[in-house]
Amino acid sequence: MTYVNVLHMACGTRERNPMTTLEYKLLGMLARQPMSGYDLVSHLKQPFVPFGPISHTQIYPALASLERKGLVRYHIVEQQAVRPDKKVYELTEEGRTALRQWAESPTPLVFSYDEFFLKAYSLWLADPERMIERFREQAQLHQEKLALYEQVLQSKQLAINAGSEQADVFEERDVLFQYVIGYEQNYLAWCQSVLQYLEQRKHQHSQEGKQV
Amino acid sequence: MTYVNVLHMACGTRERNPMTTLEYKLLGMLARQPMSGYDLVSHLKQPFVPFGPISHTQIYPALASLERKGLVRYHIVEQQAVRPDKKVYELTEEGRTALRQWAESPTPLVFSYDEFFLKAYSLWLADPERMIERFREQAQLHQEKLALYEQVLQSKQLAINAGSEQADVFEERDVLFQYVIGYEQNYLAWCQSVLQYLEQRKHQHSQEGKQV
DNA sequence: TTAACCATGTAAACCGTTACATGATTCG
DNA sequence: CGAATCATGTAACGGTTTACATGGTTAA
């Protein structure tokens, strides 16, 4: 064991723990609008927030960690009745800088596929009938999601015409919608083309059955 | 040490731990071809295996767990020189059944986005110049991946024409390629459309700058 | 001589999910 | 009367990553 590699940590305490993806997601949302932990959870359920579901049990410790790092601060909002007070978090200047630097940094391509695609890898040993069923099911689900996205996008564009918020943020958002809509379209088209193939093969097999 | 494995352990112990996605990935690969843990790791680096990278430290315990469940068995292949013996794993009948049942089961839609897309969510506070750089970079990476997929697909189709392996498995594989190629095409198209938008806006801003 | 290849594993640290905990209010 | 909503958290568990461990061969 040779070099101890001091360097790099130069300043005493600095940041003990590096940032996680989760923390950047939270920063990303808080940068647009100050919110409490609970608000973040409900916000994540909206169809136009592109981060998956995150449970509150992860969010509260993460917010505390961001605060320790000086990237967010909160002020307490008292609630009516006996409810616990709300802690509304917002970014500090350091937080905004950290988020911008992260967004501006290069990203390597690491691909992860969805579970249905993984199953498709072992499709060849499945029962054809049941597989057709599953692909129909999947096509249905993606179609619904696509319809939802298109609907939200439409109502969002109406809001732009009404001039209710800053056009800048909205324009950027449409960029995100472009992607997810394209994604769903591709998935749907794939399901349909596989269905076509499977059903064609089914008919071939049944005819072969008659001949034999 | 002959294996003890008391016939599924009837009711008493049954399966302590449920199957993980990782274990199904391994089953999926082993169903196509018997392999050792090391082989699995190298196989995962091939561009036509659609599971992400899996480290060997996960694979070895997972294989042991699959064996305890009676879904795989192995035979030892001695290596030349001092190298440790290879354990070549293959599916048992129970393993094949478990994999088929998993592949045939319904899959809920749970969406997860890639890291670059997450960054795009906070694009609005990034420096436009640097963002253009990153989108170019990303477009490049996806273009390369697309070219790779198309190349592999082509050489695979040549292999079919030469009749080297069962057509059935190959046909199913092309189904997977259809998807990943579509995916990359969509991503690339998205990057390019965003680039167009960003560059257009850049020129507008520089003209405004001249006027002011 | 350093790195990469072959081949297997264990141990600790880290991240995410599930279960537990509280407690008033409102809707079906 | 049970379930959902608001609002915050801790503790245990399980899956993943990174570091540690071994050890001979081959190519840059």
Question: Given an 8 Å threshold on Cβ–Cβ distance, is B176 in contact with A121?
Answer: yes
Cα–Cα distance list, A15 to A9, A94, B58 (Å): 9, 13, 30
Structural contact between residues A81 and A45, judged by C-beta atoms closer than 8 angstroms: no
d(CA A101, CA B120): 12
d(CA A81, CA B143): 57
Determine whether the distance from the CB of B57 to the nearest atom of strand C is below 7 Å.
yes
Query: What tokens appear for B18 in the block?
Result: 């449920």
A156 class by beta-carbon count within 10 Å (0-12 exposed, 13-18 middle, 19+ buried): middle
Comparing alpha-carbon positions, the chain A residue that sits nearest to B47 is A111
pTM of the model: 0.89
Å from B62 (CA) to D21 (C1')?
Answer: 20
Going by pLDDT thresholds of 50, 70 and 90, the confidence category of residue A81 is: low
Reply yes or no on whether the pLDDT at A7 is more than 60: no
How far off is chain A from B103, nearest CA to CA, in Å?
5
User: Residue B98 has what pLDDT?
Assistant: 98
Across A176-198, b (16+ Cβ under 10 Å) vs e yields: bbbbbbbbbbbbbbbbeebbebb
Choose among B127, B109, B114: nearest CA to B191: B114
Determine whether the distance from the CB of B177 to the nearest atom of strand C is below 7 Å.
no
Query: Which residues, other chains included, contact B70 with Cβ-Cβ below 8 Å and sequence gap of 6+?
Result: B5, B8, B92, B94, B95
Reply yes or no on whether the pLDDT at B91 is more than 90: yes
How far off is chain A from B1, nearest CA to CA, in Å?
33
Q: What is the DSSP letter of B49?
A: -
Side-chain-facing half-sphere of A119: CA atoms under 13 Å: 21
Q: Which residues of B touch A116 (CB under 8 A)?
A: 107
Secondary structure E strands in B44-141: 72-77, 86-91
How far off is chain B from A100, nearest CA to CA, in Å?
5
B212 class by beta-carbon count within 10 Å (0-12 exposed, 13-18 middle, 19+ buried): exposed
Comparing alpha-carbon positions, the chain B residue that sits nearest to A25 is B118
Reply yes or no on whether the pLDDT at A12 is more than 60: no
A46 touches B at CB < 8 Å: no
Question: Given an 8 Å threshold on Cβ–Cβ distance, is A100 in contact with B126?
Answer: yes
Chain B residues 118-157 with a CB less than 8 Å from chain A: 118-127, 130-131, 134, 137-138, 141-142, 145
- Arithmetic mean of pLDDT, B75-98: 88
User: Residue A119 has what pLDDT?
Assistant: 96
Across B23-46, b (16+ Cβ under 10 Å) vs e yields: bbbbbbbbbbebbbbebbbeebee
Structural contact between residues B117 and A179, judged by C-beta atoms closer than 8 angstroms: yes
Most confident of B37-46, B108-117, B169-178: B37-46
d(CA B13, CA A79): 51
Mean confidence (pLDDT) of chain A: 87
